[in-house]
Amino acid sequence: MADLILTPNLDDADEFYAGLLAAHDGLDKANSDALNARLVLVLANHIGDAEVLTQAVKAATLKEA
């Protein structure tokens, strides 16, 4: 089993974020939410490790106190 990487791991995170925001330009909330859902499924398929994905879901649902 691989461990989920939680430290910065993108060569150019700002460029990726800008592209992600651009992909949502002009979309209403329903279409933006659908894009996010499709992106999650595409990335989950790419990762292909259910245990890593479970770690990711847990990390994403943690709430700061």
* Domain residue extents for the chain: 27-65
Confidence grade of residue 14 (pLDDT, cut at 50, 70, 90): very high
Written as six digits, the tokens of 57 are 């879901």
Kindly state the DSSP code that residue 9 receives in the 8-state scheme: -
pLDDT in tens, 25-61: 999 999 999 999 999 999 999 999 999 999 999 999 9
Q: Say how far apart CA 33 and CA 29 lie, in whole Å.
A: 6
User: Alpha helices of the chain — where are they, by DSSP H?
Assistant: 13-24, 29-47, 50-61
The pTM score is: 0.84
Q: What is the pLDDT of residue 62?
A: 84
Any idea how long the chain is? Answer: 65
Instruction: Identify whether the C-beta of residue 35 lies closer than 8 Å to the C-beta of residue 23.
Output: yes
